[in-house]
A = this chain, B = another copy of it.
Amino acid sequence: MERWKRIDETAGWRDILRREPEALRGALTPERVASRTLPAGGGLSYSYAAMDVDDGTIALLASAAAELGLVGQYRALASGEVMNVGEGRMVLHHLARGTPCGPVVKDGRDYRAFYEGERTRAAAFAAKVRSGELRGSTGKRFERAVQIGIGGSDLGPRALYLALERWAAERGELALRASFISNVDPDDANGVLSGCDQETSLFVLVSKSGTTQETLANEALVRAWLGRKPGVDASRHIVAVTSETSPLARNDGYLDSFYIDDYIGGRYSATSAVGAVVLSLSLGPDAFKALLDGAADADRLALEPDPTRNAALLDAMLGVYERNALGRPSVAVLPYSQALSRFPAHLQQLDMESNGKRVDRYGRPVAIPSGPTVFGEPGTNGQHSFYQLLHQGTDVVPLQFIGFRKNQSGFDPEFQGSTARRKLNANLAAQIVAFACGKDDGNPNKAFPGGRPSTLLVGDELDPGALGALLAHYENKVMFQGFAWNLNSFDQEGVQLGKKLTSAVLADGGPADPALAAYARLLGAL
Protein backbone atom coordinates (compact mmCIF):
# COMPACT_ATOMS: atom_id res chain seq x y z
CA MET A 1 0.00 0.00 0.00
CA GLU A 2 1.23 3.45 -0.85
CA ARG A 3 2.14 5.65 2.02
CA TRP A 4 0.64 8.91 0.76
CA LYS A 5 -2.68 9.72 -0.83
CA ARG A 6 -3.82 12.65 -2.92
CA ILE A 7 -6.84 14.46 -1.55
CA ASP A 8 -9.02 13.21 -4.40
CA GLU A 9 -8.30 9.70 -3.14
CA THR A 10 -9.74 10.32 0.33
CA ALA A 11 -13.02 8.80 1.43
CA GLY A 12 -14.85 12.12 1.75
CA TRP A 13 -13.69 13.71 -1.50
CA ARG A 14 -16.95 13.22 -3.38
CA ASP A 15 -18.80 14.78 -0.47
CA ILE A 16 -16.43 17.74 -0.51
CA LEU A 17 -16.96 18.24 -4.24
CA ARG A 18 -20.71 18.29 -3.66
CA ARG A 19 -20.59 21.13 -1.12
CA GLU A 20 -22.05 24.37 -2.38
CA PRO A 21 -20.28 27.59 -1.43
CA GLU A 22 -22.06 29.17 1.51
CA ALA A 23 -23.99 32.37 0.74
CA LEU A 24 -22.24 35.03 2.82
CA ARG A 25 -24.97 37.64 2.79
CA GLY A 26 -26.86 36.84 5.96
CA ALA A 27 -24.27 34.38 7.24
CA LEU A 28 -21.64 37.03 8.02
CA THR A 29 -22.61 38.10 11.54
CA PRO A 30 -20.60 39.70 14.39
CA GLU A 31 -20.84 36.33 16.20
CA ARG A 32 -19.21 34.62 13.23
CA VAL A 33 -16.46 37.26 13.11
CA ALA A 34 -15.83 36.66 16.81
CA SER A 35 -15.89 32.86 16.68
CA ARG A 36 -14.05 32.14 13.45
CA THR A 37 -10.66 33.36 14.56
CA LEU A 38 -7.59 31.58 15.86
CA PRO A 39 -3.99 32.46 16.68
CA ALA A 40 -1.46 32.31 13.82
CA GLY A 41 1.71 33.02 15.84
CA GLY A 42 3.70 36.16 16.59
CA GLY A 43 0.57 37.85 17.92
CA LEU A 44 -1.31 37.42 14.64
CA SER A 45 -4.86 36.12 14.38
CA TYR A 46 -6.33 34.28 11.41
CA SER A 47 -9.96 35.07 10.66
CA TYR A 48 -12.00 32.95 8.26
CA ALA A 49 -15.44 34.39 8.98
CA ALA A 50 -15.71 35.67 5.42
CA MET A 51 -14.92 32.34 3.77
CA ASP A 52 -17.83 30.80 1.87
CA VAL A 53 -17.76 27.54 3.77
CA ASP A 54 -20.17 26.32 6.42
CA ASP A 55 -19.25 24.16 9.37
CA GLY A 56 -20.19 21.03 7.46
CA THR A 57 -17.63 21.74 4.76
CA ILE A 58 -15.01 22.52 7.38
CA ALA A 59 -15.70 19.20 9.10
CA LEU A 60 -15.23 17.34 5.82
CA LEU A 61 -11.98 19.19 5.14
CA ALA A 62 -10.80 18.35 8.65
CA SER A 63 -11.53 14.67 8.03
CA ALA A 64 -9.58 14.76 4.78
CA ALA A 65 -6.65 16.46 6.51
CA ALA A 66 -6.68 13.71 9.12
CA GLU A 67 -6.95 10.91 6.58
CA LEU A 68 -4.04 12.39 4.61
CA GLY A 69 -2.02 12.72 7.82
CA LEU A 70 -0.99 16.26 6.96
CA VAL A 71 0.28 17.12 10.41
CA GLY A 72 2.02 13.77 10.61
CA GLN A 73 3.80 14.53 7.36
CA TYR A 74 4.88 17.89 8.78
CA ARG A 75 6.17 16.08 11.88
CA ALA A 76 8.10 13.68 9.68
CA LEU A 77 9.53 16.57 7.69
CA ALA A 78 10.57 18.59 10.71
CA SER A 79 12.04 15.44 12.28
CA GLY A 80 14.43 14.95 9.38
CA GLU A 81 12.73 12.40 7.16
CA VAL A 82 13.61 12.61 3.47
CA MET A 83 10.49 14.49 2.36
CA ASN A 84 12.03 15.96 -0.79
CA VAL A 85 11.67 12.55 -2.32
CA GLY A 86 12.73 13.26 -5.90
CA GLU A 87 16.02 14.75 -4.84
CA GLY A 88 16.47 12.46 -1.83
CA ARG A 89 16.85 15.29 0.63
CA MET A 90 15.62 16.28 4.05
CA VAL A 91 13.63 19.53 4.28
CA LEU A 92 14.90 21.48 7.27
CA HIS A 93 13.98 25.15 6.97
CA HIS A 94 12.02 24.94 10.23
CA LEU A 95 15.31 24.12 11.95
CA ALA A 96 16.63 27.54 11.00
CA ARG A 97 14.37 28.99 13.69
CA GLY A 98 13.63 26.21 16.13
CA THR A 99 13.02 22.53 16.69
CA PRO A 100 9.25 22.02 16.40
CA CYS A 101 9.75 18.25 16.59
CA GLY A 102 13.08 18.05 18.40
CA PRO A 103 16.64 18.06 17.13
CA VAL A 104 17.67 16.56 13.79
CA VAL A 105 21.05 14.87 13.84
CA LYS A 106 22.46 13.12 10.81
CA ASP A 107 25.97 11.94 10.04
CA GLY A 108 27.14 13.59 13.22
CA ARG A 109 25.70 17.00 12.43
CA ASP A 110 23.07 18.61 14.64
CA TYR A 111 21.26 20.74 12.07
CA ARG A 112 19.64 23.10 14.51
CA ALA A 113 23.06 23.80 15.97
CA PHE A 114 24.54 24.25 12.51
CA TYR A 115 21.93 26.78 11.33
CA GLU A 116 21.90 28.60 14.66
CA GLY A 117 25.69 28.70 14.58
CA GLU A 118 25.64 30.40 11.19
CA ARG A 119 23.03 32.85 12.45
CA THR A 120 25.14 33.80 15.45
CA ARG A 121 28.21 34.15 13.22
CA ALA A 122 26.20 36.46 10.97
CA ALA A 123 25.01 38.37 14.03
CA ALA A 124 28.56 38.85 15.29
CA PHE A 125 29.75 39.91 11.84
CA ALA A 126 26.85 42.35 11.51
CA ALA A 127 27.52 43.80 14.95
CA LYS A 128 31.12 44.54 13.97
CA VAL A 129 30.04 46.22 10.75
CA ARG A 130 27.25 48.18 12.43
CA SER A 131 29.56 49.45 15.15
CA GLY A 132 32.21 50.52 12.66
CA GLU A 133 34.77 48.07 14.03
CA LEU A 134 34.85 46.35 10.64
CA ARG A 135 35.20 48.82 7.78
CA GLY A 136 35.75 48.95 4.05
CA SER A 137 39.17 48.55 2.50
CA THR A 138 39.80 52.30 2.54
CA GLY A 139 38.85 52.66 6.20
CA LYS A 140 35.36 54.06 5.74
CA ARG A 141 32.32 52.73 7.55
CA PHE A 142 29.98 50.57 5.55
CA GLU A 143 26.72 52.39 4.90
CA ARG A 144 25.00 50.06 2.49
CA ALA A 145 24.48 46.30 2.24
CA VAL A 146 23.77 45.06 -1.27
CA GLN A 147 22.49 41.52 -1.66
CA ILE A 148 23.34 39.85 -4.98
CA GLY A 149 21.07 36.86 -5.51
CA ILE A 150 18.06 35.73 -7.49
CA GLY A 151 14.85 33.83 -6.78
CA GLY A 152 14.88 32.59 -3.21
CA SER A 153 18.12 34.45 -2.55
CA ASP A 154 16.33 37.67 -3.43
CA LEU A 155 12.56 37.72 -3.06
CA GLY A 156 12.24 36.61 0.56
CA PRO A 157 15.07 38.71 2.03
CA ARG A 158 13.98 41.71 -0.07
CA ALA A 159 10.34 41.42 1.05
CA LEU A 160 11.43 41.11 4.69
CA TYR A 161 13.82 44.03 4.47
CA LEU A 162 11.20 46.31 2.96
CA ALA A 163 8.71 45.14 5.58
CA LEU A 164 10.95 46.31 8.41
CA GLU A 165 12.98 49.15 6.88
CA ARG A 166 10.67 51.85 8.32
CA TRP A 167 10.24 49.95 11.57
CA ALA A 168 14.01 49.90 12.08
CA ALA A 169 14.50 53.48 10.92
CA GLU A 170 11.93 54.77 13.41
CA ARG A 171 13.93 53.08 16.18
CA GLY A 172 17.31 54.34 14.95
CA GLU A 173 18.31 50.75 14.17
CA LEU A 174 18.71 51.05 10.39
CA ALA A 175 22.51 51.15 10.53
CA LEU A 176 22.93 50.18 6.86
CA ARG A 177 20.39 50.56 4.12
CA ALA A 178 19.98 47.45 2.01
CA SER A 179 19.63 47.15 -1.75
CA PHE A 180 19.19 44.11 -3.96
CA ILE A 181 20.61 43.13 -7.35
CA SER A 182 18.98 40.12 -8.94
CA ASN A 183 18.28 40.33 -12.68
CA VAL A 184 21.00 39.44 -15.17
CA ASP A 185 19.83 42.52 -17.08
CA PRO A 186 22.80 44.86 -16.48
CA ASP A 187 20.37 47.76 -16.11
CA ASP A 188 19.45 46.26 -12.74
CA ALA A 189 22.97 46.27 -11.30
CA ASN A 190 23.85 49.60 -12.89
CA GLY A 191 20.72 51.17 -11.47
CA VAL A 192 21.47 49.97 -7.94
CA LEU A 193 25.17 50.85 -8.16
CA SER A 194 24.36 54.37 -9.32
CA GLY A 195 23.15 54.99 -5.75
CA CYS A 196 26.18 53.39 -4.08
CA ASP A 197 29.75 54.35 -3.24
CA GLN A 198 32.47 51.73 -3.62
CA GLU A 199 34.15 52.60 -0.34
CA THR A 200 31.05 52.27 1.82
CA SER A 201 29.27 49.35 0.13
CA LEU A 202 29.30 45.80 1.41
CA PHE A 203 27.99 43.11 -0.95
CA VAL A 204 26.36 39.88 0.15
CA LEU A 205 26.71 37.34 -2.65
CA VAL A 206 24.16 34.56 -2.25
CA SER A 207 24.23 31.36 -4.27
CA LYS A 208 23.83 27.98 -2.67
CA SER A 209 25.53 26.13 -5.52
CA GLY A 210 27.96 28.93 -6.27
CA THR A 211 27.11 28.46 -9.96
CA THR A 212 23.95 30.56 -10.48
CA GLN A 213 24.47 32.24 -13.85
CA GLU A 214 22.73 35.53 -13.11
CA THR A 215 24.37 35.91 -9.71
CA LEU A 216 27.89 35.22 -10.95
CA ALA A 217 27.40 37.64 -13.86
CA ASN A 218 26.29 40.30 -11.41
CA GLU A 219 29.23 39.55 -9.14
CA ALA A 220 31.57 40.07 -12.10
CA LEU A 221 29.90 43.39 -12.89
CA VAL A 222 30.12 44.48 -9.25
CA ARG A 223 33.79 43.50 -9.02
CA ALA A 224 34.55 45.50 -12.17
CA TRP A 225 32.69 48.44 -10.66
CA LEU A 226 34.54 48.14 -7.35
CA GLY A 227 37.80 48.08 -9.29
CA ARG A 228 37.05 51.46 -10.81
CA LYS A 229 37.78 53.18 -7.50
CA PRO A 230 41.52 53.31 -6.75
CA GLY A 231 42.43 51.77 -3.42
CA VAL A 232 39.32 49.64 -3.05
CA ASP A 233 40.05 45.95 -2.52
CA ALA A 234 36.99 44.07 -3.80
CA SER A 235 37.71 41.00 -1.68
CA ARG A 236 37.12 43.10 1.43
CA HIS A 237 33.75 44.33 0.18
CA ILE A 238 32.02 41.03 -0.57
CA VAL A 239 30.87 38.22 1.71
CA ALA A 240 29.51 34.95 0.40
CA VAL A 241 26.47 32.96 1.52
CA THR A 242 26.76 29.55 -0.01
CA SER A 243 27.03 25.83 0.68
CA GLU A 244 30.19 24.39 2.15
CA THR A 245 30.91 22.48 -1.05
CA SER A 246 30.56 25.43 -3.43
CA PRO A 247 33.46 27.18 -5.18
CA LEU A 248 32.60 30.31 -3.16
CA ALA A 249 33.21 28.59 0.19
CA ARG A 250 36.41 29.33 2.10
CA ASN A 251 37.64 31.43 -0.75
CA ASP A 252 40.11 34.28 -0.26
CA GLY A 253 38.17 36.39 -2.71
CA TYR A 254 35.60 37.08 0.02
CA LEU A 255 35.75 38.93 3.31
CA ASP A 256 33.83 36.13 5.03
CA SER A 257 31.47 33.24 4.21
CA PHE A 258 28.27 31.96 5.79
CA TYR A 259 26.80 28.58 5.10
CA ILE A 260 23.56 26.92 4.11
CA ASP A 261 22.96 23.48 2.69
CA ASP A 262 20.76 21.46 0.35
CA TYR A 263 18.20 20.80 3.07
CA ILE A 264 16.85 24.35 2.85
CA GLY A 265 15.32 25.19 -0.53
CA GLY A 266 15.81 28.67 -1.95
CA ARG A 267 12.21 29.80 -1.52
CA TYR A 268 12.24 28.57 2.09
CA SER A 269 15.62 30.09 2.91
CA ALA A 270 14.77 33.59 4.17
CA THR A 271 15.20 32.50 7.80
CA SER A 272 18.59 30.86 7.08
CA ALA A 273 21.91 32.61 6.43
CA VAL A 274 20.39 33.74 3.11
CA GLY A 275 18.34 36.27 5.07
CA ALA A 276 20.45 36.41 8.24
CA VAL A 277 23.42 38.31 6.83
CA VAL A 278 21.69 41.13 4.96
CA LEU A 279 18.92 41.54 7.54
CA SER A 280 21.27 41.48 10.52
CA LEU A 281 23.47 44.06 8.81
CA SER A 282 20.60 46.40 7.98
CA LEU A 283 17.95 45.89 10.68
CA GLY A 284 20.20 44.49 13.37
CA PRO A 285 20.80 41.01 14.78
CA ASP A 286 18.13 41.42 17.47
CA ALA A 287 15.41 42.20 14.95
CA PHE A 288 16.39 39.18 12.90
CA LYS A 289 16.32 36.97 15.99
CA ALA A 290 12.86 38.29 16.89
CA LEU A 291 11.72 37.46 13.36
CA LEU A 292 12.92 33.88 13.84
CA ASP A 293 11.09 33.64 17.15
CA GLY A 294 7.86 34.70 15.45
CA ALA A 295 8.38 32.09 12.77
CA ALA A 296 9.08 29.40 15.37
CA ASP A 297 5.86 30.36 17.13
CA ALA A 298 3.88 29.78 13.93
CA ASP A 299 5.73 26.51 13.34
CA ARG A 300 4.64 25.26 16.78
CA LEU A 301 1.01 26.17 16.15
CA ALA A 302 1.12 24.26 12.86
CA LEU A 303 1.56 21.00 14.81
CA GLU A 304 -2.03 21.10 16.12
CA PRO A 305 -4.03 18.31 14.39
CA ASP A 306 -7.41 20.09 14.53
CA PRO A 307 -7.55 22.54 11.60
CA THR A 308 -9.83 24.90 13.51
CA ARG A 309 -6.92 25.36 15.92
CA ASN A 310 -4.16 25.36 13.27
CA ALA A 311 -4.27 28.46 11.09
CA ALA A 312 -1.79 27.29 8.46
CA LEU A 313 -3.55 23.94 8.07
CA LEU A 314 -7.01 25.49 7.89
CA ASP A 315 -5.82 28.09 5.39
CA ALA A 316 -4.36 25.26 3.31
CA MET A 317 -7.54 23.19 3.35
CA LEU A 318 -9.79 26.17 2.57
CA GLY A 319 -7.50 26.95 -0.35
CA VAL A 320 -7.76 23.39 -1.66
CA TYR A 321 -11.55 23.61 -1.41
CA GLU A 322 -11.60 26.87 -3.41
CA ARG A 323 -9.20 25.48 -5.99
CA ASN A 324 -10.62 22.01 -6.48
CA ALA A 325 -14.23 22.00 -5.37
CA LEU A 326 -15.12 25.52 -6.53
CA GLY A 327 -12.68 25.61 -9.48
CA ARG A 328 -11.02 28.92 -8.68
CA PRO A 329 -7.61 29.14 -10.35
CA SER A 330 -6.13 32.28 -8.74
CA VAL A 331 -5.51 33.69 -5.28
CA ALA A 332 -4.92 37.37 -4.48
CA VAL A 333 -2.75 38.39 -1.51
CA LEU A 334 -3.73 41.87 -0.35
CA PRO A 335 -1.70 43.34 2.52
CA TYR A 336 -3.06 46.60 3.93
CA SER A 337 0.47 47.68 4.73
CA GLN A 338 2.76 49.50 2.33
CA ALA A 339 5.72 47.86 4.04
CA LEU A 340 4.53 44.53 2.63
CA SER A 341 4.75 45.85 -0.94
CA ARG A 342 6.93 42.95 -2.08
CA PHE A 343 5.51 40.26 0.17
CA PRO A 344 3.05 39.10 -2.53
CA ALA A 345 5.99 38.65 -4.93
CA HIS A 346 7.68 36.42 -2.36
CA LEU A 347 4.50 34.40 -1.86
CA GLN A 348 4.11 34.13 -5.62
CA GLN A 349 7.43 32.29 -5.73
CA LEU A 350 6.81 30.33 -2.56
CA ASP A 351 3.46 29.02 -3.73
CA MET A 352 3.81 28.75 -7.50
CA GLU A 353 7.30 27.24 -7.46
CA SER A 354 6.37 24.79 -4.71
CA ASN A 355 3.01 23.58 -5.94
CA GLY A 356 2.96 24.41 -9.65
CA LYS A 357 3.40 20.72 -10.47
CA ARG A 358 1.67 18.22 -12.74
CA VAL A 359 3.11 15.06 -11.26
CA ASP A 360 2.63 13.68 -7.76
CA ARG A 361 5.20 12.05 -5.49
CA TYR A 362 4.60 8.72 -7.24
CA GLY A 363 5.18 10.19 -10.71
CA ARG A 364 1.50 10.04 -11.62
CA PRO A 365 -0.42 12.95 -13.13
CA VAL A 366 -1.88 15.02 -10.30
CA ALA A 367 -5.35 14.46 -11.86
CA ILE A 368 -6.87 17.57 -10.27
CA PRO A 369 -5.68 21.19 -10.52
CA SER A 370 -2.75 21.86 -8.18
CA GLY A 371 -1.12 25.18 -7.16
CA PRO A 372 -3.00 28.34 -8.16
CA THR A 373 -1.77 31.55 -9.70
CA VAL A 374 -0.85 33.98 -6.91
CA PHE A 375 -0.69 37.75 -7.28
CA GLY A 376 -1.26 40.85 -5.20
CA GLU A 377 -0.47 44.44 -4.37
CA PRO A 378 -0.95 46.44 -1.18
CA GLY A 379 -4.35 47.88 -0.34
CA THR A 380 -5.49 50.60 -0.72
CA ASN A 381 -3.52 50.74 -3.98
CA GLY A 382 -5.14 47.63 -5.37
CA GLN A 383 -8.59 49.11 -4.72
CA HIS A 384 -7.85 51.70 -7.41
CA SER A 385 -6.52 49.03 -9.76
CA PHE A 386 -7.57 45.40 -10.15
CA TYR A 387 -10.29 45.29 -7.45
CA GLN A 388 -12.81 46.15 -10.19
CA LEU A 389 -12.36 42.63 -11.55
CA LEU A 390 -12.38 41.12 -8.08
CA HIS A 391 -15.75 42.76 -7.33
CA GLN A 392 -17.48 42.49 -10.67
CA GLY A 393 -15.45 40.17 -12.91
CA THR A 394 -16.75 36.90 -14.29
CA ASP A 395 -14.35 34.77 -12.20
CA VAL A 396 -14.27 34.59 -8.42
CA VAL A 397 -10.78 35.09 -6.94
CA PRO A 398 -10.38 34.07 -3.26
CA LEU A 399 -8.69 36.85 -1.31
CA GLN A 400 -6.12 36.81 1.47
CA PHE A 401 -6.12 40.06 3.40
CA ILE A 402 -3.43 41.10 5.87
CA GLY A 403 -3.85 44.02 8.27
CA PHE A 404 -2.38 45.69 11.35
CA ARG A 405 -3.93 47.97 13.94
CA LYS A 406 -0.95 50.34 14.19
CA ASN A 407 1.49 52.08 11.87
CA GLN A 408 5.20 51.56 11.85
CA SER A 409 5.82 55.29 11.56
CA GLY A 410 4.73 57.80 14.15
CA PHE A 411 3.73 60.73 11.97
CA ASP A 412 0.01 60.46 11.18
CA PRO A 413 -1.85 63.75 11.61
CA GLU A 414 -5.65 63.71 11.61
CA PHE A 415 -7.40 64.88 8.47
CA GLN A 416 -11.16 65.23 8.08
CA GLY A 417 -11.72 63.66 11.47
CA SER A 418 -9.53 60.57 11.24
CA THR A 419 -5.92 59.48 10.96
CA ALA A 420 -4.67 57.88 7.77
CA ARG A 421 -4.30 54.62 9.71
CA ARG A 422 -7.96 54.67 10.64
CA LYS A 423 -8.88 55.38 7.03
CA LEU A 424 -6.70 52.49 5.89
CA ASN A 425 -8.34 49.99 8.20
CA ALA A 426 -11.82 51.33 7.52
CA ASN A 427 -11.11 50.54 3.89
CA LEU A 428 -9.99 47.03 4.76
CA ALA A 429 -13.10 46.30 6.84
CA ALA A 430 -15.27 47.76 4.09
CA GLN A 431 -13.69 45.63 1.39
CA ILE A 432 -14.11 42.38 3.31
CA VAL A 433 -17.82 43.05 3.75
CA ALA A 434 -18.32 44.40 0.21
CA PHE A 435 -16.72 41.31 -1.31
CA ALA A 436 -18.62 38.93 0.91
CA CYS A 437 -22.08 40.47 0.85
CA GLY A 438 -22.27 42.55 -2.33
CA LYS A 439 -25.16 44.87 -3.02
CA ASP A 440 -28.27 44.72 -5.19
CA ASP A 441 -28.99 47.51 -7.63
CA GLY A 442 -31.61 48.08 -10.27
CA ASN A 443 -28.81 48.95 -12.66
CA PRO A 444 -27.01 45.65 -13.25
CA ASN A 445 -23.76 47.51 -13.91
CA LYS A 446 -23.92 48.90 -10.38
CA ALA A 447 -24.85 45.63 -8.68
CA PHE A 448 -22.31 43.60 -6.71
CA PRO A 449 -22.83 39.85 -6.62
CA GLY A 450 -20.93 39.30 -3.36
CA GLY A 451 -19.97 35.76 -2.47
CA ARG A 452 -16.31 36.65 -2.93
CA PRO A 453 -14.58 34.90 -0.05
CA SER A 454 -11.65 36.20 1.96
CA THR A 455 -9.45 35.41 4.93
CA LEU A 456 -7.72 37.94 7.15
CA LEU A 457 -4.44 37.75 9.02
CA VAL A 458 -4.48 40.57 11.55
CA GLY A 459 -2.01 41.81 14.15
CA ASP A 460 -1.21 44.83 16.25
CA GLU A 461 1.85 46.01 14.38
CA LEU A 462 4.11 44.75 11.62
CA ASP A 463 7.12 44.11 13.82
CA PRO A 464 9.77 41.39 13.45
CA GLY A 465 7.79 38.81 15.41
CA ALA A 466 4.59 39.33 13.42
CA LEU A 467 6.54 39.28 10.17
CA GLY A 468 8.28 36.03 11.05
CA ALA A 469 4.95 34.41 11.88
CA LEU A 470 3.44 35.72 8.65
CA LEU A 471 6.29 34.22 6.65
CA ALA A 472 6.09 30.87 8.41
CA HIS A 473 2.29 30.77 8.16
CA TYR A 474 2.54 30.86 4.38
CA GLU A 475 5.47 28.42 4.24
CA ASN A 476 3.44 25.98 6.29
CA LYS A 477 0.24 26.57 4.34
CA VAL A 478 2.03 25.84 1.06
CA MET A 479 3.64 22.75 2.59
CA PHE A 480 0.26 21.40 3.75
CA GLN A 481 -1.29 22.04 0.35
CA GLY A 482 1.59 20.21 -1.32
CA PHE A 483 0.98 17.24 0.99
CA ALA A 484 -2.74 17.37 0.17
CA TRP A 485 -2.00 17.19 -3.56
CA ASN A 486 0.68 14.58 -2.81
CA LEU A 487 3.25 16.78 -4.55
CA ASN A 488 6.89 17.32 -3.88
CA SER A 489 6.77 21.00 -2.90
CA PHE A 490 10.53 21.10 -2.51
CA ASP A 491 11.94 20.56 -5.99
CA GLN A 492 11.73 22.74 -9.13
CA GLU A 493 12.48 20.58 -12.13
CA GLY A 494 10.50 23.05 -14.23
CA VAL A 495 13.39 25.50 -14.27
CA GLN A 496 15.85 23.10 -15.89
CA LEU A 497 14.86 23.14 -19.57
CA GLY A 498 15.22 26.91 -19.86
CA LYS A 499 18.71 26.75 -18.34
CA LYS A 500 19.73 24.07 -20.81
CA LEU A 501 18.45 25.96 -23.84
CA THR A 502 20.09 29.17 -22.62
CA SER A 503 23.42 27.38 -22.46
CA ALA A 504 22.84 26.13 -26.00
CA VAL A 505 22.35 29.69 -27.24
CA LEU A 506 25.52 30.87 -25.50
CA ALA A 507 27.64 27.88 -26.55
CA ASP A 508 30.21 28.17 -29.35
CA GLY A 509 28.46 27.68 -32.64
CA GLY A 510 25.06 28.49 -31.20
CA PRO A 511 22.09 26.20 -30.72
CA ALA A 512 21.25 23.22 -32.92
CA ASP A 513 17.51 23.92 -32.72
CA PRO A 514 16.71 26.20 -35.68
CA ALA A 515 13.70 27.87 -33.99
CA LEU A 516 15.81 28.64 -30.96
CA ALA A 517 18.49 30.10 -33.22
CA ALA A 518 15.83 32.19 -35.00
CA TYR A 519 14.60 33.67 -31.71
CA ALA A 520 18.15 34.25 -30.48
CA ARG A 521 18.90 36.10 -33.71
CA LEU A 522 15.71 38.17 -33.46
CA LEU A 523 16.85 39.21 -29.98
CA GLY A 524 20.44 39.93 -30.99
CA ALA A 525 21.78 37.12 -28.81
CA LEU A 526 23.48 35.27 -31.67
Contact = CB atoms under 8 A, between A and B. Distances in A.
A169 interface: yes
A515 interface: yes
Contacts of A37: 522
* A-side interface size class: 35 or more
A308 interface: no
With most chain B CB atoms within 10 A of its CB, the pick from A34, A353, A381, A448 is A381
Contacts of A189: 420
Contacts of A522: 33, 37, 47, 429, 456, 458
B420 A184 contact: yes
Contacts of A425: 520, 523-525
B383 A495 contact: yes
A485 to B, nearest CB: 9
Given A387-B495, A495-B383, A518 B34 contact: yes
Contacts of A151: 381, 383-385
Contacts of A430: 498-502, 504-505, 516
Count of identical protomers in the assembly: 2
Given A338-B191, A339-B187, A421-B186, A392 B358 contact: yes
Contact of A392 (B373, B416, B494, B516): B494
A420 B432 CA distance: 45
Interface string A384-412: 11111111111101000001011111011
Nearest to A224: B413
B352 A186 contact: no
Contacts of A518: 29-30, 33-34
With most chain B CB atoms within 10 A of its CB, the pick from A363, A370, A523 is A523
16 contacts: A30-B515, A150-B380, A155-B381, A184-B423, A217-B416, A329-B330, A352-B386, A353-B386, A363-B445, A373-B389, A391-B494, A391-B497, A392-B494, A431-B498, A433-B501, A438-B497
A494 B388 contact: yes
Contacts of A229: none
B449 A358 contact: yes
A154 interface: yes
A139 interface: no
A370 B254 CA distance: 54
Contacts of A494: 387-392, 448
Interface string A132-171: 0000000000000000001110110000000001100100
